[in-house]
Amino acid sequence: MAGNGTLTEEQLQGYKEKGYALHRKPLFGPEKMQKLTDIFEEQWAMVGRKLNSELDTPHFRDERLLEFLLSDEVLDLVEPVIGPNIGLWSSHFISKEPLTGKQTPWHEDSAYWKGRLSRFDKIVTVWLAIDRSNKENGCMRVIPGTHRNGFSEYESVDEGQNIFSTEIRRSSIDESQAVYFELEPGECSLHDSRIIHGAPPNTSPNRRCGYTMRYFSTEAKVIPENNEGFKIWLARGKDLAGSPFVNV
């Protein structure tokens, strides 16, 4: 049995104002969390135990993950944030190797999805810690309150040091305002798709792995011609905008 509950009114208000919330309770019970960890270890082994883009949308290849992605434990957290009509947008295992894990440059998730959905105001990512995540091993960090835009100016960065080739212009970011999401295994954070966020490199001897579970309000239309081969599930409620869900 998981002791997750839902976000408090204070946390929900903080999410609206700052664009994020931290849920410092186990999201899943111990057995369920171990099952998810085992699936990650299988997928990580398949790509040579390295940070690899093939860990994107792992539920397309392994539908065992739908047990977690469509679970009440997660959806009960998400519903107060984006409403009762919820689409599963994507998921992603993110693993930073010890000592060599690259930096995640400052970015907005929405900028990488531009043109793929009709709106971006009700998209939330649940970032579940599989390993302990802290400053030493490159935990996620956000710039609070930057979730009202979602499409900043970007510039090129060195891909040898970063997992992306572009980053939001440093001159537009006050890094002294950054909040670091330090989480124990099984705890999670939630953030708006438009918030400016990133992560330092992993310079520690400890791996840092998380599982991102991303959801959108079905008020947004997923545009088929810009999502070729992409699959979305109706997680809860109704399809309001007529998106191409695989399970409707």
Burial of 5 (0-12, 13-18, 19+ CB in 10 A): exposed
The pLDDT assigned to 3 comes to 42
What per-residue confidence (pLDDT) applies to 97? 85
Domains of the chain: 19-236 (2.60.120.620)
Residues of the chain with pLDDT under 70: 1-5, 51-54
What are the pLDDT digits (tens) for 22-53? 999 999 999 999 999 999 999 988 888 776 55
State the pLDDT at residue 164: 87
H-run or E-run covering 229:
none
What's the predicted TM-score (pTM) here?
0.94
pLDDT of residue 2: 39
pLDDT in tens, 125-145: 999 999 999 999 999 999 999
10 Å Cβ neighbour count for 110? Answer: 22
Of residues 59, 66, 62, 68, the one with CA closest to residue 28: 68
Alpha carbon of 1 to those of 75, 79, 211: distances in Å?
Answer: 16, 20, 20
**What integer pLDDT is reported at residue 105 of this predicted model?**
94
Q: In this structure, how many other beta carbons lie within 10 angstroms of the beta carbon of residue 197?
A: 27
The secondary element (H helix, E strand) that includes residue 139 is none
Token pair recorded at residue 108: 């907005």
Q: What is the pLDDT of residue 100?
A: 77
DSSP annotation of 102 reads: P
